């Protein structure tokens, strides 16, 4: 049994609250470590350290800060395999998927190397007689991030890389489900030259979250997780005068038009619906074929692909398609929703309820499920399942398919598969969803664009990474300057007279 730590001021520090959470091996169902759960006093200590070192870090010019990020990228590449293995061991996702988790975070760090350009202000010469105006982007001070279990490398880097590039200190409260990789990232960043205390990791639960929300020194908070908690963090943080961005749940629809390449669409659905056991906020969980003929052809293509999926632990090789879900509670909730779908009349075309992996009977594995004839009023359609369950909702027209995506309370991501450019263009323009894919099933933007949904998938005005991140982690200060004229003429030796 390993006891994990917090990471404060450049050191691994044992927890002092006396409270711990179990870190499971999802493949075996066994406890593999304990993680300390911080008290409010431990949060106070982390904030005190951060506030003491942040001014000196902010005083370093952006180019030199960027050089630390450059070195951090080198170290992430050096330790990619080690990070991926640690991530897989605690989360359960396959090694290639875990490496992708690290890579997508690394790409945001690469973007943040451009901080010297991204932090430039604006200048107006001669705004008035002898008056110039200019703006500066300055760091907030101490920022914090509360991140989820499903991307323990990517999402922390999406938050702390731009925050630190802007000159802030950052306190990370990662998921207690898989905390080892965030601790490793903090060590690597300091190896790259980041001063001690600029990035700290404090593990914890609601007590730590509430301490962050109510701390006067913390200026901004980022969060990714479920919508109810996002609403709570956004409301509480804003009420305490903080800048807050929160990203919540999702129910992502993929519309399949009659002219779509059905093999391409089926391959996309299987990867987007079942990859990472469906534990992605950008997973496609609803397939919307337009017309019964399209639906029948799609189901015919999907069934053999889904039945061939290889489910197993990450140690079984890189040909494993997906691993276990993160906890026994998550597994039980997914199984409950599947039973609800059957009871409410959906047709279970691929039934994964009896899935059993020999030698891993106590692991949190779930077989793949495919529903057909799902309707809007069913629980499996209304709620985010966050598991390897794909629901098919048949639409009789393009307009009906569009309305399904638009009427749902979530608006994180969506996609359309078609050969018709006019339909694709209309869909992209009209759909009220934040990220849209055209023949792309998981439209997660690259690092130099921004990531963010609409409706109840997001709370706040600015998205993650891209230009929005540099706006979120800085304040704009505008200076108006006027210098008296005449000084440059030198001394006046004549007796002054009234003009």
Question: How is 280-292 classified by DSSP, letter by letter?
Answer: -TT-EEEEEEBSH
In a domain, 273, yes or no: yes
333-347 mean pLDDT:
98
Total count of domains within the chain: 2
For 204-253, the pLDDT digits (tens) are 999 999 999 999 999 999 999 999 999 999 999 999 999 999 999 999 99
**Domain check: are 270 and 212 in the same one?**
no
- Cβ contact 433:405 at 8 Å: yes
Q: Are residues 269 and 208 in the same domain?
A: no
Q: Are 256 and 173 contained in the same domain?
A: no
288 and 158 inside one domain: no
Q: One of 112, 166, 246, 281 is an active-site residue; which one? A: 281
Average pLDDT over residues 319-341: 97
Residue 55 lies in a domain: yes
**pLDDT-derived band of residue 487, with 50, 70 and 90 as boundaries?**
low
Are both 297 and 198 inside the same structural domain? no
Could you tell me the pLDDT band of residue 490, with boundaries at 50, 70 and 90? low
Contact between 214 and 187 (Cβ < 8 Å)? no
Cβ burial of 469 (10 Å; 0-12, 13-18, 19+) is buried
Rounded percentage of the chain residues whose pLDDT exceeds 90: 95
**Pair 209, 242 in one domain:** yes
- Please report whether residue 498 resides in a domain: no
User: What confidence score (pLDDT) does residue 483 get?
Assistant: 86
Q: In sequence order, what DSSP letters do the residues of 136-185 get, joined into one string? A: EEEE-SEEEEE--SS-TTHHHHHHHHHHHHTT-EEEEE--TTS-HHHHHH
pLDDT at residue number 484: 78
Tell me the CA distances in angstroms from 423 to 100, 259, 261, 306, 418, one per residue in order.
32, 11, 15, 28, 8
Q: Provide the CATH number for the domain around residue 94.
A: 3.40.605.10
User: Which range marks the domain in which residue 135 is found?
Assistant: 2-248+457-480
pLDDT score of 130: 86
Residue 490 lies in a domain: no
| Residue 359, domain member (yes or no) | yes
Whether residue 350 sits in one domain with residue 417: yes
**Residue percentage of the chain with pLDDT more than 70:** 98
Quick one: 123 and 83 in the same domain? yes
Residue 343 and residue 231 share a domain: no
pLDDT digits (tens, 9 = 90+) for 455-478: 999 999 999 999 999 999 999 999
Q: Which residue has the tokens 């409270």?
A: 19
Q: Are 424 and 418 in contact (CB under 8 A)?
A: yes
Whether the predicted model's global pTM rises above the 0.85 cut = yes
**pLDDT score, position 326:** 96
Q: Is residue 443 included in any domain, yes or no?
A: no
- pLDDT (0 to 100) of residue 1: 79
Kindly state whether residue 30 falls inside one of the protein's structural domains: yes
Clarify whether residues 170 and 260 are in a common domain.
Answer: no
Indicate if 295 and 265 belong to the same structural domain: yes
CATH code for the domain of 381:
3.40.309.10
Is 281 known to be catalytic? yes
Residue 129: the pLDDT is 86
pLDDT band at 489 (very low <50, low <70, confident <90, very high): low
Does 222 fall in a domain?
Answer: yes
Whole-number pLDDT of residue 232: 97
Q: Residue 237: what pLDDT?
A: 98
Q: Reply yes or no on whether the pLDDT at 296 is more than 90.
A: yes
Residue 485 banded pLDDT, cuts 50, 70, 90: confident
Measure Cα distances from 253 to 23, 291, 325, 354 in Å.
33, 16, 22, 27
* Residue 496 in this model has a pLDDT that exceeds 70: no
Per-residue model confidence (pLDDT) at position 34: 97
Task: Output the CA angle 113-183-275, nearest 5 degrees.
Answer: 80
Beta-bridged to residue 442, according to DSSP, are: none
pLDDT digits (tens, 9 = 90+) for 148-202: 999 999 999 999 999 999 999 999 999 999 999 999 999 999 999 999 999 999 9
Same domain, yes or no: 181 and 316: no
Note the pLDDT tens digit of each residue in 98-148. 999 999 999 999 999 999 999 999 999 998 888 999 999 999 999 999 999
């Amino acid at each position: 049994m390993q006891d994990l730590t917090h990471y404060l001021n450049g050191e691994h520090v044992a927890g002092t609250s006396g409270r711990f959470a179990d870190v499971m091996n999802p493949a075996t169902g066994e406890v593999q470590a304990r993680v300390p759960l911080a008290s409010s006093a431990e949060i106070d200590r982390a904030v005190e350290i951060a506030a003491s070192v942040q001014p000196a870090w902010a005083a370093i010019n952006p180019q030199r800060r960027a050089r630390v990020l450059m070195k951090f990228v080198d170290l992430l590449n050096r330790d990619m395999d080690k990070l991926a293995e640690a991530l897989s061991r605690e989360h359960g996702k396959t090694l290639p998927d875990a490496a992708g988790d690290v890579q997508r975070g690394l790409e945001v760090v690469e973007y943040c190397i451009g901080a010297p350009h991204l932090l430039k202000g604006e200048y107006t010469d001669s705004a008035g007689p002898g008056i110039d105006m200019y703006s500066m982007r300055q760091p907030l001070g101490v920022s914090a991030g509360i991140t989820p279990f499903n991307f323990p490398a990517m999402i922390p880097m999406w938050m702390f890389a731009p925050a630190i590039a802007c000159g802030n200190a950052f306190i990370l409260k990662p998921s207690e489900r898989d905390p080892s990789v965030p601790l490793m990232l903090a060590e690597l960043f300091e190896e790259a030259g980041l001063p001690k205390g600029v990035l700290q990791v404090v593990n914890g639960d609601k007590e730590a979250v509430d301490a962050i929300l109510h701390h006067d020194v913390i200026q901004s908070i980022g969060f990714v997780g479920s919508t109810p908690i996002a609403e709570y963090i956004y409301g509480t943080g804003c009420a305490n005068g903080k800048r807050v961005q929160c990203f919540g749940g999702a129910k992502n629809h993929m519309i399949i038009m009659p002219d779509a390449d059905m093999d391409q669409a089926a391959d996309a659905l299987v990867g987007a619906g079942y990859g990472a056991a469906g534990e992605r906020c950008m997973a496609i969980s609803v397939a919307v074929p337009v017309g019964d003929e399209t639906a029948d052809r799609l189901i015919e293509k999907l069934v053999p692909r889904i039945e061939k999926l290889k489910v197993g632990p990450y140690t079984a090789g890189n040909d494993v398609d997906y691993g276990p879900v993160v906890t026994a509670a998550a597994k039980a909730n997914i199984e409950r929703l599947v039973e609800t779908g059957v009871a409410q009349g959906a047709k279970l075309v691929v039934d994964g309820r009896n899935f059993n992996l020999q030698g891993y009977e106590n692991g949190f594995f779930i077989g793949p499920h495919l529903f057909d004839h799902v309707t809007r009023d069913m629980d499996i359609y209304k709620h985010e399942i966050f598991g390897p369950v794909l629901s098919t909702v048949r639409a009789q027209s393009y307009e009906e398919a569009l309305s399904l995506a638009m009427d749902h309370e979530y608006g994180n991501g969506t996609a359309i598969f078609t050969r018709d450019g006019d339909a694709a263009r209309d869909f992209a323009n009209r759909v009220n969803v934040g990220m849209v894919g055209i023949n792309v099933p998981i439209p997660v933007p690259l690092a130099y664009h921004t990531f963010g949904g609409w409706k109840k998938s997001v709370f706040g005005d600015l998205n993650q990474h891209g230009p929005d991140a540099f706006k979120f982690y800085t304040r704009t200060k505008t200076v108006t300057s006027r210098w008296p004229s005449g000084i440059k003429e030198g001394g006046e030796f004549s007796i002054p007279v009234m003009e």
